[in-house]
Structure 1
Amino acid sequence: MVKKYDVIIIGAGPGGMTAALYASRANLSVLLLDRGVYGGQMNNTAEVENYPGFKSILGPDLAKEMYESATQFEAEYAYGTVESVTVSPTGIKTVKTDSAEFETHALIIATGSQYKKLGIPGEEDYSGRGVSYCAVCDGAFFRDRDVAVVGGGDSAIEEGSYLTQMVKEVNVIHRRDQLRAQQILQERAFDNPKIDFTWDTIVTQIEGDGQKVTGVKTHNKKTGEDKLLPVSGVFIYIGLLPMTETVSHLGITDDEGWIITNEKMETKVPGIFAVGDVRKKDLRQIATAVGDGSIAGQEAYNYLETVKDVQR
């Protein structure tokens, strides 16, 4: 049986949950879909210091607070991996998951992004056995050991600083000669005696003993020097890729897969909106995702009002 909702939101990160709050508060029937636990990448964030209202809060705790707010006006939450999204000539959007099928006039895409991979020998072989993309998830496994963090942006430096609470030493390996992270994060990292930096360097291979990571091979782009750095863990933060595989056929993405919207979060397909990290934009933060979600929730209501006018 196909279930029908006024609004369906794919993705229960901060943008998706905020959209659910605004749409359900407008007395619309709302389904919030996600293939995992609500919160998205907030669940992989140790500490959030730049979300208004909280001097500091753990990422999973903020996710819980948002979820309780998002569902207070009877928005429904369901698990499911979306397999396809189609749009009929009459504007009905059909969302098929691995276990059910849903229909709606207004669809909000909040699928977020995922971490890029290095694509080097050993990365796949030792994934989950020393190679990680989440310090909060896996940091405790490396207590009192040396680890490497690959990258120079906010995520790399934030998570590298977090790791110093448990590991012996963090070596940040960056392909450039300066970081891209926010200045305050850089200052903290430079002041942290447990963080070392390897500049102008790329990781070319992840070494292991067949069971776990034992080190990384590096190449200095300026000197041409190759080295083997002994570490027990490798945490990779080199950028993001949009999770838009199931909607790319709709013609709403750019060449890299990011969804293009206007300031109302509208895509080129009427009744389809996008919010949060999946959008083509410069700043991807919890606060910006929440802003996107509030706009999309309200604009979904406005769109449905125009649909009703046409049907009358």
Structure 2
Amino acid sequence: MHDFDLIVIGQGYAGLRAARAARDRGLTVATCEAVMAGGAVATVLRLDPSPVPFTGSGPDLGAIVAMENMDGGIVPYFEAATHLSPEPRGGWRMSLPSGSHHARHVILATGTRPRALGVPGEAEFAGSGVSRCADCDGPRVRDRDALVVGGGDAAFQEAAILARFARSVTIVLRGARPRARAALVEPVLAATNVHLLRESRLGAIHGTSEEGVTGATLLTPSGPATRACAGVFILAGGAADTRLVPPSLPRGADGGLVAEEGGRLGLPGLWAAGSVRSGFRGGLREAGEDGARVAAALG
């Protein structure tokens, strides 16, 4: 078991910046990430805007900052944390499949998990037309029709990418108006091949084992309607990933962890940064600033 001043769980942008800021303060730091550095931003090929001048690519941003952190002495563990528990001597023990490690402080920067809609066909056609990444799967709908389900920033960012590939993009909104920022909505709706379907929901996804997704049932104000499409991109928000912390810690109405000023949680040495925190509504730049702010508050 290794001892650190700080372990940051999650290498999204908030976690990467928290680790960097703590290291710059002279703390010994480790990070833990099961997938790739960058978190959700690693699926976005073109950042608009990018929080740093040296790249506009999400995968590059995560990889470059993670490599800089490693070069600066931050220890990375490329495994999923399986358990987090307070130690009698103080601090926290993080368990990994390969072993466990101790730190005086832990920053949870675990972000959010995509929210499944639970509609028929969603799980069956995942990877065969059901997607959450336009950069990854946009070519599938080239010169064909696509649906985007969601009304927030992520939905409109993905729709902007899909509009470059697809014959048509229909954005399915639960409400009457998008929740996304106007700066994202306006250029998307200016595209002639993008349309809004308001006050509607996704009812089911249809397809075959050979072709993948071929269409969807939409629940509209005028009744159910079947729409042919080659891809359904689900960007309907996410749930804060709080699985590692005790259920006794207070959650907000959005499911995120309720943190005090500076990101402190209700247990000594435990902190939260970024979108795992209740009420966080920032973008990429704000996530990085939040991570650095939490690291600056560590005792």
Q: Same fold (TM over 0.5)?
A: yes
Give the equivalent residue in structure 1 for 2:269. Answer: 271
Give the equivalent residue in structure 1 for 2:130. Answer: 131
TM norm structure 1: 0.90
Q: What SS does structure 1 have at the residue aligned with 2:82?
A: strand
Give the equivalent residue in structure 2 for 1:239. Answer: 237
The offset of 1:60, in angstroms, is 1.6
Q: Residues 254 and 278 of structure 2 are in contact (CA less than 8 Å); yes or no, is this contact kept in structure 1? A: no
Q: Residues 55 and 61 of structure 2 are in contact (CA less than 8 Å); yes or no, is this contact kept in structure 1? A: no
Give the equivalent residue in structure 1 for 2:17. Answer: 18
Quote the RMSD (CA, aligned, Å).
1.8
What one-letter code is carried by the residue in structure 2 that aligns with 1:265? G
Q: Residues 249 and 257 of structure 2 are in contact (CA less than 8 Å); yes or no, is this contact kept in structure 1? A: no
CA distance in structure 1 between the partners assigned to 2:26 and 2:267 by the alignment: 24
The offset of 1:15, in angstroms, is 0.8
| Larger deviation, residues 62-71 vs 137-146 | 62-71
CA distance in structure 2 between the partners assigned to 1:43 and 1:137 by the alignment: 11
Give a deviation string over 1:98-146, Cα, whole Å, max 9, x none: 2221111111110010221111111111111111111122222322221
Give the equivalent residue in structure 2 for 1:214. Answer: 214
CA distance in structure 2 between the partners assigned to 1:26 and 1:282 by the alignment: 25
Q: Residues 163 and 170 of structure 1 are in contact (CA less than 8 Å); yes or no, is this contact kept in structure 2? A: yes
CA distance in structure 2 between the partners assigned to 1:244 and 1:174 by the alignment: 27
CA distance in structure 2 between the partners assigned to 1:190 and 1:80 by the alignment: 41
What one-letter code is carried by the residue in structure 1 that aligns with 2:215? G
Give the equivalent residue in structure 1 for 2:186. Answer: 187
The offset of 1:208, in angstroms, is 1.0
The offset of 1:65, in angstroms, is 3.3
CA distance in structure 1 between the partners assigned to 2:51 and 2:104 by the alignment: 33
Give the equivalent residue in structure 2 for 1:308. Answer: none
The offset of 1:14, in angstroms, is 0.8
CA distance in structure 2 between the partners assigned to 1:123 and 1:10 by the alignment: 29
Q: Residues 49 and 56 of structure 2 are in contact (CA less than 8 Å); yes or no, is this contact kept in structure 1? A: no
Give the equivalent residue in structure 1 for 2:284. Answer: 286
Unaligned runs of 5+ in 2: none
Q: Which consecutive segments of 4 or more residues in structure 1 shift more than 6 A?
A: none
Question: Number of matched residues?
Answer: 298
Q: What SS does structure 2 have at the residue aligned with 1:82?
A: coil
The correspondence of residues 48-63 of structure 1 with structure 2, limited to 5 A, is 48-54=47-53, 57-63=56-62
Unaligned runs of 5+ in 1: 304-312
CA distance in structure 2 between the partners assigned to 1:173 and 1:249 by the alignment: 34
CA distance in structure 2 between the partners assigned to 1:244 and 1:151 by the alignment: 23
The correspondence of residues 36-75 of structure 1 with structure 2, limited to 5 A, is 36-54=35-53, 57-75=56-74
Q: What SS does structure 2 have at the residue aligned with 1:205?
A: strand
CA distance in structure 2 between the partners assigned to 1:100 and 1:139 by the alignment: 40
What one-letter code is carried by the residue in structure 2 that aligns with 1:236? I
Give the equivalent residue in structure 2 for 1:7. Answer: 6
What one-letter code is carried by the residue in structure 2 that aligns with 1:283? R
| Residues 1:296 and 2:283 aligned together | no
Q: What SS does structure 2 have at the residue aligned with 1:264?
A: helix
Give the equivalent residue in structure 1 for 2:143. Answer: 144
| Residues 1:226 and 2:234 aligned together | no
The offset of 1:210, in angstroms, is 3.0
Name the % identity. 27
Q: Residues 217 and 229 of structure 1 are in contact (CA less than 8 Å); yes or no, is this contact kept in structure 2? A: yes
Q: What SS does structure 1 have at the residue aligned with 2:261?
A: coil
The offset of 1:56, in angstroms, is 7.5
Q: Residues 252 and 269 of structure 1 are in contact (CA less than 8 Å); yes or no, is this contact kept in structure 2? A: no
CA distance in structure 1 between the partners assigned to 2:51 and 2:9 by the alignment: 25
